[in-house]
Structure 1
Amino acid sequence: MPQRVEQLRQAYPQAQVEVWAFDEHRLGLKPIIRKVWAKRGQRPSAVVQHRYQWLYLYAFVCPHTGQSEWLILPRVSVVWFNQALQVFAQAAGAGADKQILLVIDGAGWHRAKQVVVPEGIHLEFLPPYSPELQPAERLGQLSDEPLVNRKFDDLDALEETLASRCLTLSAMPQTIRGHTLFHWWKEE
């Protein structure tokens, strides 16, 4: 990755170069159950109603700054990935003056021939079977917090809670940075 950053700096000497990471996270009406504290002698209860309807959280993060961009979309596919890239490029200001190296996994919809990469975005694929190398993978823990041990009546209620959490996380760059800036992730 440092070589790729250097290549971008040489190819675009007048532009700022940033390294971001991206991952999708599936969330749905099937509850996320975690352990909870309870008084001695009492058993905690969690309302569970297994329903298999999903939303996908598209998360972009700059580990150096903790800046993040979030999108909640109905599914994962090339079409939705293209849309997410467009929205991200616009929100991050990618273009002639700002080049972004986006680290992503090798999912089929990321590598498809139909992927349209916006100006100023350059995709860097991780090696197969290496989720531990992906900083954006850790954003799932943070986004899940208000959803744990809760039952939602429908996807709209889930989306409302998730959108609120994403806004909160966007205002917490130090927390995001603490979860995503790996010790080996080189300074830009």
Structure 2
Amino acid sequence: MFQDEARFGRLSDPRRCWAPWPIRPLVRKTLIREYVYAYAAVTPADGHLEWMLADDMAAKTMGLFLRQVAQNHPNEFVIMVLDGAPSHRSRELEIPEQMALIRLPPYSPELNPAERLWDELREKEFANKVFDSLEAAVIQLALGLWRLESAPAATQSLTGWQWILESS
């Protein structure tokens, strides 16, 4: 599995959008800095997705997420590939017995297929939207993650491009 985390919140994400000529679309913008963190682990070969939302990105929270993944795969040994974030290297990080962590080289997000999840969510769930509360942003994020989780073929297509190239 490949793991990553990202921050989502109320800070708006204005992007280009389509509108018929000569209409110029208007997009609201907000600068409120309230955030929630999304943890995700994906298996690119089959599109299986595990996720969790949290208030912070700390070693203790990362340990909770790893425990959640281990509990959902009780009869499997999970090899978790992740980046070198401080919460992944902390001595306080508790790694479940049936799990091993492999760190990617520094400054190489293109090697982690889980990074593509965040681009998808930002484009489909957060682009050109303003949220009235952090709770509204959390609901939108959870709906987007649930959408990806409930469509393993789409998640596999999004994250597993290297597996497709190897099998053809």
Q: Write the letter of the residue equivalent to 2:50.
A: E
- In structure 2, the residue matched to 1:171 is 150
Whole-Å separation in 1 of the counterparts to 2:95 and 2:161: 26
Deviation of the 1:142 alpha carbon: 2.2
Q: Write the letter of the residue equivalent to 2:137.
A: L
Deviation of the 1:41 alpha carbon: 2.1
Q: Runs of 4+ in structure 1 displaced over 4 angstroms?
A: 184-187
Whole-Å separation in 1 of the counterparts to 2:20 and 2:166: 46
1:114-133 to 2 correspondences below 5 Å? 114-133=92-111
Q: 1:54 aligns with which of 17, 35, 50?
A: 35
Structure with greater Cα Rg = 1
Deviation of the 1:182 alpha carbon: 3.7
Q: Write the letter of the residue equivalent to 1:164.
A: L
- In structure 1, the residue matched to 2:137 is 158
- In structure 2, the residue matched to 1:26 is 7
TM-score of the pair, normalised by structure 1: 0.83
Q: Partner of 2:63: helix, strand, or coil?
A: helix
- List per-residue Cα deviations over 1:40-76 (Å, max 9, x = no partner): 1221111111111111111110011100011111110
1:64-103 to 2 correspondences below 5 Å? 64-91=45-72, 93-94=73-74, 97-103=75-81
RMSD of aligned Cα (Å): 1.6
Amino-acid identity (%): 32
Whole-Å separation in 2 of the counterparts to 1:56 and 1:63: 22
Whole-Å separation in 1 of the counterparts to 2:82 and 2:162: 19
Whole-Å separation in 2 of the counterparts to 1:186 and 1:111: 31
Q: Write the letter of the residue equivalent to 1:56.
A: Y
- In structure 2, the residue matched to 1:43 is 24
- In structure 2, the residue matched to 1:138 is 116
TM-score of the pair, normalised by structure 2: 0.92
Unaligned runs of 5+ in 1: 1-19
Deviation of the 1:186 alpha carbon: 7.1
Whole-Å separation in 2 of the counterparts to 1:119 and 1:100: 10
Deviation of the 1:141 alpha carbon: 1.9
Whole-Å separation in 1 of the counterparts to 2:14 and 2:57: 24
Q: Write the letter of the residue equivalent to 2:81.
A: V
Corresponding residue pairs, total: 165
Unaligned runs of 5+ in 2: none
